Amino acid sequence: MNALRQIEYAGRNCYRSHDKITNDSAPAFVRSLIRRGHLAPLEFADMSVELVTSRDVMAELTRHRLASFCIESQRYVCMNGEIAFILPCFYRESDEASEFWEFCMTDAEQSYHFLLEKGLKPEDARKILPNSTATHIVMKANIREWRHIFSLRLGKGVQIHAVGGGVLVVVVQEHADVIVGDLAGQLLEGGVRHQVVHDGVLIVGGIQRIVK
C-alpha cells in the first residue's frame, strides 16, 4: 500500500467512508484533508531519505524529535583519505573569507591525519574536525512531520532550508504534488540550493570533496 492509500484508509475511518475508496480516489481525498487542516491521517505514512550535510546542520535537523535518525559515526568511521566538507552558505570563489575557510578545512584535514598517524583512535582524532565536515544521515519521519519540517525550514535566512529543499525533491517522486504541493512556493522563495544525486542521496549546499 503506497503512502497516499495508507493516509486515505486511515482518514476515511474518521468518516466511515471506506466504501468510497477506488483505485484513484486517494490523491483527491488527501488533498481535501490538507485543505481542511485534518492532518492526523498524514501520520500513518512514513518517508525515509538518505542525505549528506554538515555536522552543524545535522545538529539542527535532529532537533525534530518526531523523526528517527541513523547518523554516520565519527567514532567508528576512520577517514583515511580525503575528508568531505560542505561548502558554507557564504562561500564565493576568490572571496577572502571563503579562501580562509578553505585554508581552515585543509588544516583540519591534515591535523586529523596527523593525530591518526600518532596512534590516536578515530574517536579521539575527531575532536579536531570542524562543523563543516560532511556526514551521511538516514532519516525517517511521517508525512505530517515532514510538512512541519518544510514549513519551518524552507524560509529565507534559515541555513537548514537547503536540507528541506533537497528532501522535497525526493518527495516529488512520491506524490509531492499532493503531500507538499501547497508548500512548494516556499522552496522558490527561499532560493534553495541543492543537487540531486542517485538513489535519493542528496548533496546539500555543495561538497568540496567527496570521499569515494
Which sequence positions are flagged as catalytic?
153
Q: Where are the alpha helices (DSSP H) in the chain?
A: 3-13, 26-36, 55-61, 96-117, 122-125, 143-153, 161-171, 176-179, 184-189
Single-letter residue type at 51: L
Q: Of 105, 101, 106, 103, which is closest to residue 90 (Cα–Cα)?
A: 101
CB 141 within 8 A of CB 56: no
Residue in the block written with cell 512514513: 46
CA distances from residue 57 to 65, 76, 89 in whole angstroms, order as listed: 15, 21, 11
Sign of CA dihedral 198, 146, 130, 119: negative
* DSSP type of residue 199: T
Distance CA 188, CA 156 (A): 10
